[in-house]
C-alpha cells in the first residue's frame, strides 16, 4: 500500500492530537524514556502543554475547514513585510503543492 508523505504526516498529527487528549497517553509524549538524542532535529520532550491545547482546539474548531480566508491574510502579511503585492506571494501545504502549481 503506497502512502504519500502528506497523508503520513496528517495521520501522525491526528494520532498525536488524539493521544494528547488521553492524559495517560499524553504523559508518554512529555517524558523521554531513554537518553536524549541530540543528533536529531526534534524535541525529545514532545510538545508543551500549551501546544497540545492549541492542537486540540484546532482539531475541534478548524481541522475540517479549508484555510482559504487565513491563506489570504497570510499572503497579505508576507506581501507587506516584503513590500510586494499579495498576488506575487504563493503559499501552499508543503513544497509538493507549490511545485505542482509551478509545473
Question: If you average pLDDT over residues 72-93, what whole number do you get?
Answer: 91
Distances (CA, A) of 27 to 11, 37, 38, 91, 96: 20, 19, 21, 35, 34
* 38 shares a domain with 83: no
Tell me: do 55 and 83 sit in the same domain.
no
Largest pairwise CA distance in the chain: 50
User: Residue 51 sits in which domain range?
Assistant: 5-61
Residues 44 and 87 both lie in one domain: no
Task: Name the domain count of the chain.
Answer: 2
pLDDT score for 58:
83
pLDDT-based confidence at 79, cuts 50/70/90? Answer: very high
Residue 25: predicted pLDDT: 56
φ/ψ region of 83 (left if φ > 0, alpha if ψ in -120 to 50, else beta) reads: left
Classify burial at 71, counting beta carbons within 10 Å of its beta carbon; exposed 0-12, middle 13-18, buried 19 or more. Answer: middle
Are 6 and 93 in contact, with CB atoms under 8 Å apart? yes
Same domain, 47 and 77: no
pLDDT in tens, 6-55: 777 777 777 766 665 666 555 555 566 777 677 777 776 778 889 899 88
Residues 42, 20 share a domain: yes
User: What's the residue count for the chain?
Assistant: 103
Amino acid at each position: 500500500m503506497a502512502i504519500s508523505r502528506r497523508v503520513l504526516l496528517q495521520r501522525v498529527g491526528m494520532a498525536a492530537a488524539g493521544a494528547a487528549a488521553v492524559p495517560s497517553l499524553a504523559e508518554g509524549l512529555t517524558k523521554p524514556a531513554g537518553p536524549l538524542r541530540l543528533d536529531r532535529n526534534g524535541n525529545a520532550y514532545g510538545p508543551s502543554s500549551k501546544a497540545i491545547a492549541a492542537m486540540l482546539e484546532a482539531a475541534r474548531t478548524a481541522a475540517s475547514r479549508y484555510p482559504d480566508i487565513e491563506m489570504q491574510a497570510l499572503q497579505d502579511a508576507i506581501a507587506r513585510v516584503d513590500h510586494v503585492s499579495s498576488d506575487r506571494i504563493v503559499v501552499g501545504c508543503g513544497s509538493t503543492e507549490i511545485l505542482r502549481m509551478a509545473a
